[in-house]
Structure 1
């Protein structure tokens, strides 16, 4: 079985140790010759990289490991780039969330004004990474799960249409894990789904077990009462630090709120992020403008991962370390394996529509099931979708296209239009006020808007 060279872009991310650990745990299924980490922040990357180096020394010494801030060194001689960069880090995410809330509008990192701000920061660096990959390893694939995925995917479609880039998101996988718990299955690969929409903006219309049995009625009845939570599985565990950051109150509330979103179309199951678009008044009312999700993450996951990394470095041993693999780490390994070994894995990916959803424009970047092989994704046919979902998707896809327009044209008007069109923003006046504040906050990241 061929061994592959992998580079993780965003080497200083708190998710990187989980990806490295998952790669190691799946080394028999996806053999690796070289593994590199790359980040443009040397100080942030160092403790994560050193901890991973110690981990690999003990668990997989045959892997050639390195880390760098030099693009040529990072992108040379690789087969896969696993990219998960956060432009502006959590400090800018905090502003993405708090600036809209100051104006009485939902503050969320990928939805509404926060997502638009994040998108305008992310487009340039993601395109830069693709350029590096094509220059130094032209046959490599980029598996990109840098947020906000829909805006980034639309930019890739326009600017790099022939590039070997697959845009992905782990959010459906996270909900699949909840569905697995609801059904009492051992694995989320024990069932197949039909899902459609945009990233963080979609619906399940069919879920069946491997024998073809329709599981939707059972899941719908559960979601109507509990959302995506199985209450007995998430009782408070005061001695389990991982539970503290995995299931903060805001995240639990998101899973429970799905029951209200699902009521709008009782025949389908919603992506949890739809609550920001359909219940924005509720979200603002239940948000603390002084302490948002970004603060929760910085005070929990961010702190815990770096503390763990520093302890590994201090001990010079991975023994007893508490790094944990997670859903998107599993997802990224499965995707790489599908391309490398033609497994025809069925996965939810962000791809150009091209008729898969028959009553949506071909150029919309949709999130739908695909079969994956060495040539990338083969989208499955979804067919026509109902008027309610179509209307919301067309509106949100137009927002995302306007954001990319604004970035390409340096257009203030297009950015204002994007904010005004967002389901989350109540008026053009609010949109303009928020935009002006976001421009000031992002002056070191956004192109100038004229």
Structure 2
């Protein structure tokens, strides 16, 4: 086993202890020589807090890894073998704007869906492309493991625009449904009895499930989870970080597949929006809740006696992201051929989408990267939405890369969670001005909007 250098961009994240824990668990699979945690000036304090905790965790595990904390991305990237990305451009305040501004217009406000997800992509894609330019020079053979949201669009931009084929995107949502389905079928949460086959897009996928004997139990799971007359007496919520409004049983039954938790925003938009609007009035949007939770976590992380991942991190949402990243790296490095759900090149796995598009799909993780399982075609009810969402993603990427306002407006028009028309255009303009510090590609358009009197009111 050759020794490796791993770089984590966004190293000051509250998720970093889980990442360190995941690497420690795999110490016999990964001979880590150096681990670099990278952040920006605005994240310096958090980097130092979580970095010192990471050192304590490694020391407590009896390991001699060299852990470096730096604000110099290029210094960190030199000769890296694996680069993981978990950064948030604009920090949590940008996420709060992403959620609260759309809600002020009566539309869904969410981190990766609707207008908020589009703007997160606008801010993030230019940064990932800049990281790739540095990697081409400093670590041309490294793998890029991305779990920066919106993971699917960021991964697609990295591969198709940045030209970095050795990019894999990760999400924790399939892990949550994997655990819930085992509970629903009477197994332990961490059992691996069931085989899951996922396909679709990041935060917009479906899946089917089989028993070890080859019997498909998708229909049985639909009955156990979604039929109100057969509700189980167990907590089988698939996600802890969004409101658990119940799906409409008849619709899921017609699908014949299990939906992603995020499908709630598209299948039961009214209920989800009403819940968000109530939270908006009380300043309890998910972003605001996360900001408070994160402040509490970093107070814990300051404790010089804390040398393990605290249980409170599970409240942050997104738990299991980092552990999945560690398993992905271990599987590539050792050609383990682990079955994982990742964002990767379609290569014909979903016949309803272009061959070169990026999809989220169950894959075998080999030494040369993911090999996706073939899915085939979706039934019309899912196929139409899938193709619409992929078209929206491609339009968002175009706007993020070029700063083309017309493409940005068209992305808003395509997105099912944005009511198109004059109000949507006004919202787009306000969100551009509100994000002007993080959108250099739209600089000229933002200047034009400000000259025309568009402002960002902070009393929303």
Mark yes or no: TM-score above 0.5: yes
Rounded Cα–Cα distance in structure 2 between residues aligned with 1:280 and 1:37: 39
Instruction: Point out the more displaced range, 6-15 or 54-63.
Output: 54-63
Change (3 A) 1:47 1:226: farther
Report what 1:193 is aligned to.
Answer: 196
What is the Cα-based RMSD across aligned positions, in Å? 2.5
Report what 2:178 is aligned to.
Answer: 176
Instruction: Point out the more displaced range, 265-274 or 90-99.
Output: 265-274
Is the contact between residue 406 and residue 412 of structure 1 (CA under 8 Å) also seen in structure 2? yes
Alignment equivalent of 1:416, drawn from 401, 409, 434? 409
Report what 1:241 is aligned to.
Answer: none
Alignment equivalent of 1:308, drawn from 300, 307, 320? 300
User: Is 1:9 equivalent to 2:9 in the alignment?
Assistant: yes
Report what 2:454 is aligned to.
Answer: none
Change (3 A) 1:211 1:4: farther
User: Is 1:299 equivalent to 2:292 in the alignment?
Assistant: yes
Rounded Cα–Cα distance in structure 1 between residues aligned with 2:307 and 2:346: 45
Is the contact between residue 227 and residue 249 of structure 2 (CA under 8 Å) also seen in structure 1? no
Rounded Cα–Cα distance in structure 1 between residues aligned with 2:229 and 2:204: 17
Instruction: Point out the more displaced range, 39-48 or 282-291.
Output: 282-291
Rounded Cα–Cα distance in structure 1 between residues aligned with 2:192 and 2:397: 35
Any gaps of 5 or more consecutive residues in structure 1?
A: 236-245
Any gaps of 5 or more consecutive residues in structure 2?
A: 446-460
Question: 1:335-350 residue pairs with structure 2 within 5 A?
Answer: 335-350=328-343
Report what 2:136 is aligned to.
Answer: 134
Deviation, structure 1 residue 22:
1.6
Is the contact between residue 222 and residue 253 of structure 2 (CA under 8 Å) also seen in structure 1? no
Report what 2:376 is aligned to.
Answer: 383
Deviation, structure 1 residue 109:
0.5
Report what 1:284 is aligned to.
Answer: 273
Report what 1:269 is aligned to.
Answer: 258
Instruction: Point out the more displaced range, 12-21 or 277-286.
Output: 277-286
Is the contact between residue 425 and residue 431 of structure 1 (CA under 8 Å) also seen in structure 2? yes
Deviation, structure 1 residue 141:
0.6
SS at match of 2:30: coil
Is the contact between residue 349 and residue 375 of structure 2 (CA under 8 Å) also seen in structure 1? yes
Rounded Cα–Cα distance in structure 2 between residues aligned with 1:226 and 1:60: 51
Is the contact between residue 352 and residue 387 of structure 2 (CA under 8 Å) also seen in structure 1? no
Report what 2:449 is aligned to.
Answer: none
Q: Deviations over 1:376-405 (max 9, x none)?
A: 111221111111111101111111111111
Instruction: Point out the more displaced range, 156-165 or 81-90.
Output: 156-165
Change (3 A) 1:142 1:323: farther
User: Is 1:437 equivalent to 2:440 in the alignment?
Assistant: no
Deviation, structure 1 residue 226:
6.6
Question: 1:8-407 residue pairs with structure 2 within 5 A?
Answer: 8-40=8-40, 41-186=43-188, 187=190, 189-204=192-207, 206-225=208-227, 231-233=233-235, 247=240, 251=242, 253-254=243-244, 256-258=245-247, 263=252, 265-287=254-276, 288-289=279-280, 290-300=283-293, 302-311=294-303, 313=304, 315=305, 318=307, 322=311, 326-407=319-400
Deviation, structure 1 residue 263:
3.0
Deviation, structure 1 residue 74:
1.1
Is the contact between residue 21 and residue 309 of structure 2 (CA under 8 Å) also seen in structure 1? no
Deviation, structure 1 residue 433:
1.7
Deviation, structure 1 residue 183:
2.4
Q: When the two structures are aligned, how many residues end up with a matched partner?
A: 431
Rounded Cα–Cα distance in structure 2 between residues aligned with 1:200 and 1:331: 16
TM-score between the two structures when normalised by the length of structure 1 = 0.89
Deviation, structure 1 residue 43:
2.0
Rounded Cα–Cα distance in structure 1 between residues aligned with 2:406 and 2:18: 41
Rounded Cα–Cα distance in structure 2 between residues aligned with 1:75 and 1:229: 50
Change (3 A) 1:231 1:117: farther
Is the contact between residue 49 and residue 302 of structure 2 (CA under 8 Å) also seen in structure 1? yes
Is the contact between residue 179 and residue 228 of structure 1 (CA under 8 Å) also seen in structure 2? no
Change (3 A) 1:234 1:282: closer
Instruction: Point out the more displaced range, 413-422 or 169-178.
Output: 169-178
Change (3 A) 1:38 1:188: farther
Is the contact between residue 178 and residue 229 of structure 1 (CA under 8 Å) also seen in structure 2? no
SS at match of 2:36: strand
